[in-house]
Structure 1
Amino acid sequence: MPKMRKKSDLPSKDCAQCGLPFTWRKKWAKVWDEVRYCSDRCRAASKKKAKEPQT
């Protein structure tokens, strides 16, 4: 079995929407370079913000 890693040893990024840091997850292993948001909520909020009309 592979050796366990501490959560603090995993790579992290800042969310493009809220700015909070989030850490690597196993389900993101293949697409880590493409991950920009920490959650579905932030991803949806960024799309909503982009659709708002400029006044």
Structure 2
Amino acid sequence: MKKQHLPTKMCPICNRPFQWRKKWEKIWEEIKYCSEKCRRHKKQAY
């Protein structure tokens, strides 16, 4: 994969795009949040 062709997703908490990372390779479909901070604050958003 070339860096300019990495998949991206939008974080539902901060509404910012984030890119695929090697450590998420096997679980990319499950990733919803861009960071641990956003994941922790998911309950406050609703």
Could you tell me the TM-score, scaled by structure 1's length?
0.73
CA distance in 1, matches of 2:17, 2:36: 15
Higher relative contact order (CA 8 A, sep 6+): 2
Task: Give the counterpart of 2:7 among 11, 15, 18.
Answer: 11
Within a 5 Å distance, the mapping from 1:21-32 to structure 2 comes to: 21-32=17-28
Deviation per CA, 1:11-34: give whole Å up to 9, x if none. Answer: 000001111000000000010000
Q: Which runs of 4+ in 1 moved over 2 A?
A: none
Indicate the percent of aligned positions where both proteins have the same amino acid. 53
TM-score normalised according to structure 2 size: 0.85
Structure 1 spans left out of the alignment, 5+ residues: 51-55
SS in 1 for 2:28: coil
Larger Rg: 1
Count of residues in correspondence between the two structures: 46
Cα displacement (A) at 1:38: 0.3
Structure 1 vs Structure 2 CA RMSD: 1.9
Partner of 2:30: 34
